[in-house]
Amino acid sequence: MQLINRVLCSPASLAVLWQSGPDVLDNIMEGVPDVPIDEMISSVMSAKKQAQEKRPPHTLAGFATPALVPLAHWGAAAVHIASKLSDAAQLHRLAAALSFDEWRMAAQIGGVTALRAALAFKGAITSTDVAANKALFDAVAGYAASGGVPLHTLYVEDDATRAVAEYAAWVHGSTRVSICDYPFSLSMNAKASILAWEGYTAQRYAERAAWGTRCPSKIRAEEDMRVPGAGSSGGTLCIDVRREHVVADSMVLLSEKDLHIPLLVRFAGEDAQDIGGVRKEWLSILCEALEQSALFVDLGVTEPQMNGHLWFSGRDVDDGTAELFGIALGLALFYQVQVPLRVSPVLYKLLLWHAHGGTAPLGIDDLSLLKPALGKGVRHMLSYQGDSFEDTFQVTWSVSTPDGQVSLVPGGSERLVTAATCTAYAARLVHYELIDAPGAALNALYRGFARVVVPSSGRSQMDLLSADELAMLLCGREERLDINALRDAAVHVGFSARSPPRVLANVDDFWHIWASLERDDQHLLLAYITGSPRIPALGPRALGLRIHHVDGPILGQMDALPTSSTCTSTLFLPTYASREILEAKIRLALVHSRGFGLA
């Protein structure tokens, strides 16, 4: 049996089997009941990679990546095999092994329904309506988030360039079946590439418009020619900010007509030239300052388990502050800069809710992210099966606020919630807490966000993201650093086998010291080098981390600190006489880390 399995899974056999039709596949599945699906898929991927190496990379709009080579009829074969399986893990892996072209091949023969059924565990959702796929997206992503399956197991094997090409056709209104209709299958790499392409397109249009040249664009085709405003110069937008007044000085952005023009930031009294690093640091400092403003309050004040998470304070704060925060979030997404935010995770769901025109579903899970005790109480009400509902709960259609009772419906403070109206009450309560209560502040925040991440009247990049993915793209991965993974991903410049022993020992000492730091200091050192304390959504390799040997004499206790260029994520590492001296220099650099990099 093992010999048969090895023969069946060899690339040569697969090349024939995938084109043999369902009857042959049925005979194989029945005759060899323990067909090793994982081994089969590995062979398919191996065959793809062998074919991939024989052709040049595909390019589009300045992006070039090696494109996966589709295998003829593999999409159809995968769908057919999926219909014969019941193991969820195998179904996920089988569906994820499709490339973009193979996915379309499967869809064109009616295979999308079968694949969707596989991902939703054999038929939880079977509608072929594209709108129903949005519900599937939330359901599958929610199942993954709850620990059912890792979200990445739902991703189709992709290449970023093909994802951009698919998206470009889809967003223009293509009616052909597109993988963009099934966004849970697009990997983070594909989604980040799509956002980069959107930013590239919008920025090119804005640059040309700023110079007075019309540039037809699917993003801003209807807008009149832009006249450069205050702070703009030709094709760039320059702002000068003082670190101690970063919010006030950044308010100039509220009056800018087009925030897609390349943005250059200068810190007052500093010589650093902004080629990306200064802007990255400015966004981080600005978001931190705005989170410390009167706009937000720590949820831990009322619910200790939420300590450290922020939400709208409800105070009478100028809408400009909230709009500026939205602009900062939009710019972070536009430039793909990670900012360590402390706002409640429900904010990302609400950004998508606004982007979808208020149609995205909100529920008790979202309320629980903001007010866990209230969410738990509502769940208890909804699940109550006993008698005398009104006497048991004594809940009216109203909520208590610092300013008094607020009725959820006319006369709500005098009207009891009943077993028959409990579901409607829960829905109204969720809407009040998440939408009505933050009110003008939330609307202003989204208005600022939408000025950068321009919503489309039809399809847009926001349709592809879940709340968790949006949070990861904005904030990076909230996890302890894997220093070994960082070292494996880093490029070491100026080191070789012929380097002096102390030079090689020095770089080993550096990694040892980084691994030995406390968690907060580990993240601070990452921020010192890259401008962000977190790993990007795409992982350590997306950092482009570089450790650059500084040629020169061995340094002692009184000599210079290591310096960094945050725009290139480079640490310039001199050679020190001992590990102890290097550690002292690193710790001193962290104390003075703000503004210490070269940009």
Q: Rounded to whole angstroms, how far apart are CA atoms 478 and 339? A: 11
Q: What does DSSP say about strands 570-573 and 546-549: parallel, antiparallel, or unpaired?
A: parallel
Closest of 128, 6, 143 to residue 468, by C-alpha: 143
Query: How many CA atoms within 13 Å lie on the side-chain side of 171?
Result: 21
The token duo for 399 is 């909520």
Q: Other C-beta atoms within 10 Å of 242: how many?
A: 11
Determine the residue type at 122: K
Sign for the pseudo-dihedral over CA of 491, 496, 502, 508: positive
The token duo for 311 is 């939400």
Pair 402, 314: CB distance under 8 Å = yes
Sheet bearing 491-493, strands edge to edge: 491-493, 546-549, 570-573, 563-565
Q: Specify the 3-state DSSP secondary structure of 65.
A: strand
Q: Rounded to whole angstroms, how far apart are CA atoms 462 and 467? A: 10
Q: Rounded to whole angstroms, how far apart are CA atoms 206 and 259? A: 8
Q: Rounded to whole angstroms, how far apart are CA atoms 15 and 20? A: 9
Q: Rounded to whole angstroms, how far apart are CA atoms 319 and 480? A: 36
**Of the residues 180, 287, 475, 567, which is catalytic?**
567
Q: Rounded to whole angstroms, how far apart are CA atoms 437 and 297? A: 14
In 180-254, which ranges are E strands? 232-233, 236-241
Q: Other C-beta atoms within 10 Å of 344: how many?
A: 21
End-to-end alpha carbon distance in the chain: 61
The token duo for 43 is 């062979």
Determine the residue type at 260: H
> Quick check: is 422 catalytic?
no
Closest of 356, 61, 66 to residue 199, by C-alpha: 61
CA 242 to chain centre: 30
Q: Specify the 3-state DSSP secondary structure of 413.
A: helix
Place of tokens 């709850």: 146
573 sits in which H/E element: strand 570-573
Q: Rounded to whole angstroms, how far apart are CA atoms 556 and 78? A: 63
Pair 352, 442: CB distance under 8 Å = no
Could you list the active site residues? 567
